[in-house]
Structure 1
């Protein structure tokens, strides 16, 4: 760890970092990040660690062994990595929220990771702020080879008797709706961000006929679908679209698919219920590293195993778009400290 004195930190932050470094021997005030960025694996965190001066490392008990600490800057930006999947995401965020090292009551959380994308709503490298996060796994499922005649698929809501029927019971974590004011503000701040692209991604888009898939990457608002299973293919995707519509009563329409967000949000929701986190200060960004289904001239397996060229731009663009919002919050903290400032006149569906 570098010398604390070099960063000219406020006394509470410096002493809290010293306490962390010394195994908790020193009594100190907890660290109060202005922005906490949540990434899921090393390639998502790398642009942040290289692009920002987040070289103050605070180890947190309960974090994944591969990603044991929070990296913070003197200005109040912190970055953590959960490791992939529901169990890792929930465990890491729970450890963070209930750690004595941080005071997160005023912290803005930005989830910034990569995802699959529906080719009718986005393209490789595109960036999407979420209004809804929907769990794609908490449900009944019957193998398609055993479903009754006339069923569209083997998916039923919990306690339901037929596809399309509403759930009769649940876990309470199936759907999260994020703060609309912060969503619109994040979109307004980042919609003109210059996004990375490459020749491989440009060439791969030729497999798709959807207009959105053929476009250059851009920034939009649309919903995200969570599942521990890395599913792929048009038939599953069509079923997932019906599932999202059912769980959101027709308000939601997913475009990105990922493996952590409902678990992350559940841990943060528990923290908010305990008075440790402000749930209205969470923004969720996913960038497209791959399409969630095959193109017109491919099989689902060919699409799943293809090198689309989207991975590099998606990790870069998650940083570019989310950091635009993070920097705006930090640089204008007097306006953001009390809550989300009035949104500018910008909106996307």
Structure 2
């Protein structure tokens, strides 16, 4: 017992002041973004700035031990934080926040938001996707293409991860979120339009739109048609919807939320700022590390689109909390 006493004392001293006499704040919507570029206001926006400016600029930051950044909560029950990039950083922050005794997540909706990549036959720059499934890109075995007959799979799932490698999100909640997005006007840019023309796929050339499908979570920032096909193969292997988004956090965050609250109120919203492979006139390496002037463009517009689409959901929940508190009205 004695050897653990310093740790207990440290936690007692560093945990934000909170007593049993205080009622924890009821969280209606928690918004989790993964990174910010600079300041929280007034400069080039990363994933969190628009949420902060719109909902949280008047809130006091709350330091949470174990979280990468503070949590902000407004008086309407909207909370948010920058969780960190990658599976470990984001999920460990999420667990710390969920265990904060000052916040009551019993009825909360979780909106995970950020930028991502998309295959050019499924999405386009500036498009925004609600996940129907989350799949972990890892948790299996991989090998080099020259070690098996040509055309054979290069990935095999490993036993023991069946409950955490794939999550089907609540279809009724996703449908409701898509419905709320249907009248949201998305922005575009000339730079993004010009970049799209380099791709032959009809979908890649489209103006931004809202779409659904599987979001693939992996710390590996994979690029190229071969790995894109492998991601699609994995979704088929797991019985999920088509792979449409590559990102680095959502499946890991889902595992954390699932342990404490289940995933019925979890949504993943991503905007495409790049394609997961090059156009016919560039190699995969050139696409991964583009020369000046060869980037996709449309980052700021995508950030704006993510916020516009997600805010339609946040506003609906907060403004009609009596209907949403017990669950999605479509359930």
Normalized against structure 2, the TM-score is what? 0.87
**What is aligned with 1:300?**
284
Q: Structure 2 CA distance, aligned partners of 1:35 and 1:139?
A: 33
**CA deviation map 1:213-258 (0-9, x unaligned):** 101001111110010110111111111111111012xx42110000
- The answer on whether the counterparts of 1:21 and 1:58 sit within 8 Å (CA) in structure 2 is no
Deviation, structure 1 residue 130: 0.7
Deviation, structure 1 residue 54: 4.2
Deviation, structure 1 residue 153: 4.3
**What is aligned with 1:35?**
29
Q: Does 1:223 align with 2:214?
A: yes
**What is aligned with 2:145?**
144
- The answer on whether the counterparts of 2:56 and 2:79 sit within 8 Å (CA) in structure 1 is no
- The answer on whether the counterparts of 1:90 and 1:267 sit within 8 Å (CA) in structure 2 is yes
Q: Structure 2 CA distance, aligned partners of 1:23 and 1:55?
A: 20
The alignment's C-alpha RMSD in Å is 1.8
Q: Structure 1 CA distance, aligned partners of 2:15 and 2:184?
A: 37
**What is aligned with 1:201?**
192
DSSP-derived class of the 2:272 partner? strand
**What is aligned with 1:270?**
259
**What is aligned with 2:320?**
332
Q: Does 1:252 align with 2:236?
A: no
Aligned pairs (5 A) from 1:313-324: 313-324=301-312
**What is aligned with 1:63?**
67
DSSP-derived class of the 2:104 partner? coil
Which range moves more in the overlay, 91-100 or 181-190?
91-100
Gaps of at least 5 residues in structure 1 are: 1-19, 159-167, 273-277, 344-349
Deviation, structure 1 residue 53: 4.0
Q: Structure 2 CA distance, aligned partners of 1:30 and 1:342?
A: 28
- The answer on whether the counterparts of 2:115 and 2:272 sit within 8 Å (CA) in structure 1 is yes
Which range moves more in the overlay, 125-134 or 27-36?
27-36
Deviation, structure 1 residue 149: 2.1
Deviation, structure 1 residue 26: 7.7
Which range moves more in the overlay, 323-332 or 295-304?
295-304
**What is aligned with 1:188?**
179
Distance 1:184 1:199, change over 3 A: same
Normalized against structure 1, the TM-score is what? 0.83
Deviation, structure 1 residue 310: 3.1
Q: Structure 2 CA distance, aligned partners of 1:34 and 1:284?
A: 16
**CA deviation map 1:5-51 (0-9, x unaligned):** xxxxxxxxxxxxxxx99633684111111110111111100111122
Q: Structure 1 CA distance, aligned partners of 2:95 and 2:229?
A: 33
Task: Give the count of matched residue pairs.
Answer: 304
**What is aligned with 2:83?**
82
Distance 1:237 1:338, change over 3 A: same
- The answer on whether the counterparts of 1:207 and 1:298 sit within 8 Å (CA) in structure 2 is no
